[in-house]
A and B are shown apart, each in its own frame.
Chain A
Amino acid sequence: NAGVTQTPKFRILKIGQSMTLQCTQDMNHNYMYWYRQDPGMGLKLIYYSVGAGITDKGEVPNGYNVSRSTTEDFPLRLELAAPSQTSVYFCASSRALGQPQHFGDGTRLSIL
């Protein structure tokens, strides 16, 4: 039972480069989320999805894009990497309203 899987685990980007952070879940959850975690700041919601084809912005969406073509996958795209996007990114999913979110182990991204 894999749960939520994120790839890659680590990545170093140069300013201006682009990349896609992958997230897949095998629990058939409708709700999926992308967060970033910065030291001392807790987790901030970037984007979320309530089902295939439906996405919406969270608290800190600038500089990011998402898509949700299937129930399982919810990739996060960085188009023009900036040093402010250096962070740890977590993907999560949940089955229904009121149910806990299940988290992947994160992608540690450094932009130099």
Chain B
Amino acid sequence: AQSVAQPEDQVNVAEGNPLTVKCTYSVSGNPYLFWYVQYPNRGLQFLLKYITGDNLVKGSYGFEAEFNKSQTSFHLKKPSALVSDSALYFCAVREAGGYNKLIFGAGTRLAVHP
């Protein structure tokens, strides 16, 4: 069965420090992977995706993600965190079989402290 795991409920980081939000996945076939961010009382906003190609994917707001096939991971990273990055982050994988359905992880709350 396909699934996505985000092992940390919350990540705390000081402003200016690098951040990592972890995601591992289980799929049949080649994975289509996505990261979304959710701010309070808002819908999810797309950050970046991996379909094929370079293992390091760059996205919006300075975020990037590293695809690692052997570890089945797709961790979200940013070299220098901002307080405004504080939000809920979701990793998702496209379900096999078409129709662009996504399976979401439970989410990781990122708190960036001044």
Contacts and interface: CB of A to CB of B under 8 A. Distances in A.
Contacts of B41: 105-106
Nearest to A93: B100
A48 B98 CA distance: 12
A43 interface: yes
Contacts of B51: 98
Nearest to A35: B104
A48 B92 CA distance: 16
B9 interface: yes
Contacts of B44: 43, 90, 92, 101, 103
Interface residues of A, number: 27
Interface in B29-43: 32, 34, 36, 41-43
B100 A105 contact: no
Contact of B32 (A31, A90, A98, A104): A98
Nearest to A54: B99
A1 interface: no
Contacts of B43: 4, 90, 92, 103-106
A12 interface: no
Contacts of A90: 43-44
A48 B51 CA distance: 22
A77 B49 CA distance: 32
Contacts of B101: 33, 45, 48, 58
| Top-9 shortest CB links A-B | A103-B43, A100-B46, A42-B104, A42-B106, A103-B44, A43-B104, A105-B43, A31-B100, A94-B100
6 contacts: A31-B100, A90-B43, A97-B98, A98-B49, A103-B36, A103-B45
